[in-house]
Amino acid sequence: MVFYGPFEQPVLFVPGKGPGQLLCVFDFDIGLRVVAFSEKQDTEVASVGQEIHTLVKQSDMHVEMADREELQTVLSTLREATDRSLRAASVPTLDLVLFRTYARRDNLIAGLELLEKATR
């Protein structure tokens, strides 16, 4: 997978409900976005619109914006995860070798709830 960045960056990876599926939470310049990667046969970016093309430049996996059910999977995982497992699934938002910061759980939940409401 090749992401664009530096402003749109992945902050969390969560397993999807189906086998071979990975859900990735991105810190997008206007809010959080969730992209679903899966092992489907086609590797084309499936979603119509520019937003996904801004997040993912290239992937050997099938790529599409997450649907409402997938957003709920991420929210459920965030609410139930231990601090240790959440940190293991997170990508630092700032990495200065000896100092790293990560997205806060409560901020992720609030941003994803807002995104979920917008997808209804």
**Strand, helix or coil at 113?**
helix
Q: What is the pLDDT of residue 62?
A: 86
Helices marked H in the chain: 50-55, 68-80, 83-89, 105-118
Write down the pLDDT at residue 47. 53
Measured CA distances, 88 to 20, 74, 78 (Å): 19, 15, 12
Q: pTM, whole model, 2 decimals?
A: 0.84
Tens digit of each residue's pLDDT, the chain (120 residues): 455 555 678 899 999 988 899 999 998 878 899 999 998 766 555 555 667 777 887 788 888 899 999 999 999 999 999 999 999 999 988 889 899 999 999 999 999 999 999 887
Give the pLDDT confidence score for residue 18 in this predicted structure: 85
Q: Which amino acid is present at 85?
A: S
